[in-house]
Amino acid sequence: MGTQRAIFAAGCFWGVEANFRKKEGVVSTRVGYTGGPFSNPTYKKVCSHKTGHAEAVEVTFDPSKVSYDDLLEIFWSIHDPTTLNRQGPDIGDQYRSAIFYLNEAQREKAESFKAKLEASKRFKNPIVTQIVSASDFWQAEEYHQQYVEKRKNSLTNL
């Protein structure tokens, strides 16, 4: 069947990536920028709030081991989808909650999951997560890739 891709934004991409990497069936991840109209954004430009990009994680997964629904479970559980342009101490449009769907099946599953969450009243405030068609995904600078894992390794080697 091959691999599939999914793209999620849920705040600072470092922690988001680390959470998805833990899941069996996730083949690879890469952090980057998406959702804005400009080509080749950099971290500095995205942080200027002038590009419209979100910090996001592209997840490549083996659907025979992990489903898109499983990835949605992770996405909804690792952040607060009711805060607009903010996750914890991180504030700005680049930290927005968004699902960037790559096909109609992903859109339908994301919309359905969001509707079930809203109906469940699990969250006190309205869900502000965007569900939008994926645009170009621009890989972030190398030092951002697998940042949490690199940081853990550097701390344990002291």
Q: How many domains does the chain have?
A: 1
pLDDT of residue 1: 67
Mean pLDDT lowest for which of 11-20, 101-110, 146-155?
146-155
The torsion defined by the Cα of 112, 117, 118 and 119, in degrees rounded to 10, comes to 90
Q: Does 142 score more than 70 pLDDT?
A: yes
The answer to whether 104 touches 73, Cβ cutoff 8 Å, is no
* Residue 146 belongs to domain with CATH number: 3.30.1060.10
- Residues in CB range of 62: below 8 A, 6 or more apart: 1, 3, 25, 26, 27
pLDDT of residue 157: 46
Active site residues: 12
Q: Does 30 score more than 90 pLDDT?
A: yes
State whether residue 45 is helix, strand or coil.
Answer: helix
The whole domain housing 89 covers: 4-156
What does the pLDDT average to over 61-83?
97
